[in-house]
Amino acid sequence: MRKKVVAGNGKCNTTLQEGIELAQTVNQLVTEKGDKNITVVLCTPFTHLTKVVELVDGNRIGVGAQNCAAEAKGAFTGEVSAAMVKSTGAGYVILGHSERREYYGETSEILNKKVALTLANGLTPIYCCGEALETRQAEKQNEWVKRQLDETIFQLPVEEVSKIIIAYEPIWAIGTGVTASTEQAQEMLAYIRGLIADKFGKEVADKTSILYGGSCNAKNAPELFAQPDIDGGLIGGASLKGEDFLGIINAY
């Protein structure tokens, strides 16, 4: 059985104090009322990692970063390495989010370095892919996503690729309130699983957790998560409110 995962991407929100408060709320809700079969992950700003790792129940909630440096160490002012993330006790790193690709010019080449460093440090990448609205309107979303995967994580050996969580986040659904329809999300996630099966075998495909992200909330999550290929969600806005996030965790 593959893991069901609900991961919060806090993005550039919350001061340290607010982030601690939010993590405390999420921790209390998850430990008291959360579905125990769901792997819950909180991806916080770098500045919050150590504190959040300390305060959550590590058996119930994993902690992750939202990015890491493409270099292992050295003269790269302002960068935070995968080893630094690991040293906080965090276990995950979101990589390839469309906001990083779009606003910070992250290419497949850069992402390959980040994925390699993340894996080398024993962290689990939550690797994002997804198309823009024009691509969807031109019905080229499958080709787009295939290329994003072919150029990056599909280059890895099978034992590495099987450690990765994939998140499909159509850009037109992120923060817009427009969720992909259940059919659109299921269709894409089944397509991605098929690509993994073709390249790495059915066993790997069946074990890979593939998440949907983009305006996912407690209301639409039950229908999305009921689909055979949707193994959970990568949640932005709704992960900033404890009750909303719990509602998504308990949507299965």
Cα separation of 102 and 2, whole Å? 31
- The tokens for 178 are 């427009």
Provide Rg for the chain, Cα atoms. 17
Q: Which of residues 162-221 bind ligand 13P (CB under 6 A)?
A: 169, 174-175, 213-216
Q: What are phi and psi of 88, to 5 degrees?
A: -80, -15
Q: Does 62 bind ligand 13P (CB under 6 A)?
A: no
- The tokens for 236 are 């932005």
Q: Does 235 bind ligand 13P (CB under 6 A)?
A: yes
Residue nearer to ligand 13P on the CB measure, 90 or 200: 90
User: In the set 42, 237, 248, 249, which binds ligand 13P (CB under 6 A)?
Assistant: 237
Give the interface size with ligand 13P as a residue count (CB under 6 A).
14
Smallest separation (angstroms) from ligand 13P to the CB of 139: 23
Q: Could you confirm whether 169 is annotated as catalytic?
A: yes
User: Are residues 53 and 82 in contact, defined by beta-carbon separation less than 8 angstroms?
Assistant: no
Residue nearer to ligand 13P on the CB measure, 175 or 194: 175
C-alpha dihedral, 204 to 143 to 125 to 182, nearest 10°: -80
Residue nearer to ligand 13P on the CB measure, 64 or 200: 64
Coil/strand/helix, residue 191: helix
Judged by CB under 6 A, the stretch of 17-25, 138-146, 192-200, 233-241 that binds ligand 13P is: 233-241
Binding mask 90-129 for ligand 13P (x = CB under 6 A): -------x--------------------------------
The Cα-based distances of 6 to 54, 89, 156, 179 in angstroms read 20, 19, 25, 16
Cα separation of 88 and 99, whole Å? 24
Tokens 């039950």 found at = 222
Smallest separation (angstroms) from ligand 13P to the CB of 8: 8
Q: Could you confirm whether 48 is annotated as catalytic?
A: no
Smallest separation (angstroms) from ligand 13P to the CB of 136: 15
- The tokens for 11 are 């993005």
Cα separation of 250 and 252, whole Å? 6
Smallest separation (angstroms) from ligand 13P to the CB of 74: 29
Catalytic residues: 97, 169
Q: Tell me which residues touch ligand 13P (CB under 6 A).
A: 9, 97, 169, 174-175, 213-216, 234-238
